[in-house]
Amino acid sequence: MEHWGVVCVDAGGRVLKNRGMAKPAIEIENLTKEYPYGFLNLKKRLSLEGLTLQVETGEVFGFLGPNGAGKSTTIKCLMRLIFPTKGTARILGRSIDDVGMHREIGYLPEQPYFYDYLTAAEVLDYFARFHGLTANDRRERVQKMLKKVGLESAKKIQLRKYSKGMLQRVGLAQAILHEPKVVVLDEPMSGLDPLGRREVRDIILELKRDGRTVLFSMHILPDAEMLCDRVGVIVGGKLRGVGAPEELVGIQAQGMEILFELGADEKKPTLLARATRTGERYRVQLKEEELYAAIEELKQAGARILSVTQIKATLEEFFMGLVEADRAQAAAVEVNGK
């Protein structure tokens, strides 16, 4: 496997903050996209507003946002499927207009669709030809990819008979077939069942282990939290936050939760009034400073403590907070007639 640049990773495979030695894999500067609409296309709708972002070499970067936030617009600009109104972007230090640079990148479009008169093996072979691979290389890699995405048994079936999830797998295979240095995936989990999602997660982690840079957009926040070194949250065409998931949501615990069991004969602790019961088990949430007193009380009452966990904000809560704030702001603007 060919590596490039210098990737600084810790024992857990995470990219370290001090990444000064490696150039960013993706640099986006002030990217703006307006879409004309209305009679004679005289009105303009802003889909992306001054997006500036860097994705470091070797990191997995999650691009999060609600529908219509500008995620796919950004990705399409990077893939030169649409052209930005303003701003520039570079991948691996080269302009996105440089077609040769596309040898080094792999792209999975959102809800991909391929030539339905071809089989999976044929479509992969077709795409591989643009990367200048020899016939032997192509044959070998196509087989390898079909196996990796679980389509080996369906390789001779025309794509018109494929399900949405199977097409998604073909899309993923064509994106990584040529071993690109940068992989851009637009909603890679879309249309996949839990097993398929798990396989995609494994593939993304494998790409990361190989030192490749992965940028993906996603709606499934727990998956993003699990996979990403950093995430960028985009709402209403503007980037609202970038950082490691734990940085964004804050590492401070918001409280503690105790799960315990209490027999029928035991003394009833005062905590019981605050607890929620599920069968024989009780769950109580309290402040961090109340923890030790509560444990002591439960001990005195003869309760069996099953677990004590920190309550932390999730990426989903952070994300929903931003979306709600954006909607509230949009509503206020509308009321003021601006």
Partner 1 sequence: MKNVLTVAANTFREAVRDRVLYNLVFFALLMMAAAILVGQISIGIEKSVIISLGLTAISVIGLFIAVFIGVGLVSKEMDKRTLYALLAKPLERWEFLLGKYFGLLMTLTVNTAAMALGLYAALLTVAQPLEKADGYVLVAVYLILLKLALIVALALLFSCFTTPFLAILFTAGIYVAGVFAGDLRVVKSVAMDAATMDSGTLKLLRVISYVLPNFENFNVMGAVAHGRSVPASLVGSSTLYAAVYGATVLILAAMVFSKRNLK
List residues binding partner 1 (CB under 8 A).
76, 79-83, 99-103, 105-109, 111-115, 117-118, 126-127, 129-132, 171, 174-175
* Beta carbon of residue 234, minimum distance to partner 1 (angstroms, whole number): 19
Structural contact between residues 229 and 239, judged by C-beta atoms closer than 8 angstroms: no
* Beta carbon of residue 314, minimum distance to partner 1 (angstroms, whole number): 32
**Cβ contacts of 325-333, under 8 Å, gap ≥ 24:** 326/235, 326/236, 326/240, 330/236
Based on CB atoms, which residue is closest to partner 1, 114 or 318?
Answer: 114
Based on CB atoms, which residue is closest to partner 1, 105 or 303?
Answer: 105
Based on CB atoms, which residue is closest to partner 1, 105 or 256?
Answer: 105
Position 71, amino acid:
K
Based on CB atoms, which residue is closest to partner 1, 53 or 159?
Answer: 159
DSSP string spanning 245-284?
HHHHH-SS--EEEEEEE--SSS---GGGGG-EEETTEEEE
Based on CB atoms, which residue is closest to partner 1, 122 or 290?
Answer: 122
Structural contact between residues 22 and 57, judged by C-beta atoms closer than 8 angstroms: yes
Classify burial at 157, counting beta carbons within 10 Å of its beta carbon; exposed 0-12, middle 13-18, buried 19 or more.
middle
* Beta carbon of residue 316, minimum distance to partner 1 (angstroms, whole number): 29
d(CA 56, CA 269): 52
Based on CB atoms, which residue is closest to partner 1, 53 or 108?
Answer: 108
* Beta carbon of residue 99, minimum distance to partner 1 (angstroms, whole number): 5
Based on CB atoms, which residue is closest to partner 1, 129 or 198?
Answer: 129
Backbone φ and ψ for 99, nearest 5 degrees, come out as: -65, -35
Based on CB atoms, which residue is closest to partner 1, 19 or 102?
Answer: 102
* Beta carbon of residue 128, minimum distance to partner 1 (angstroms, whole number): 9
Note the helical H segments in 63-193: 71-78, 120-129, 135-148, 164-176
Beta sheet of 182-186, edge-to-edge order: 105-108, 182-186, 213-218, 60-64, 230-235, 238-243
* Beta carbon of residue 114, minimum distance to partner 1 (angstroms, whole number): 6
Structural contact between residues 92 and 22, judged by C-beta atoms closer than 8 angstroms: no
> Three-state SS for 55?
strand
* Beta carbon of residue 49, minimum distance to partner 1 (angstroms, whole number): 17
Q: How many Cβ atoms from other residues are within 10 Å of residue 196's Cβ?
A: 19
* Beta carbon of residue 65, minimum distance to partner 1 (angstroms, whole number): 19
Based on CB atoms, which residue is closest to partner 1, 64 or 184?
Answer: 184
Record the tokens describing residue 279, joined without a space. Answer: 């069968």
d(CA 213, CA 211): 7
* Beta carbon of residue 327, minimum distance to partner 1 (angstroms, whole number): 26
> Three-state SS for 217?
strand
d(CA 138, CA 144): 10
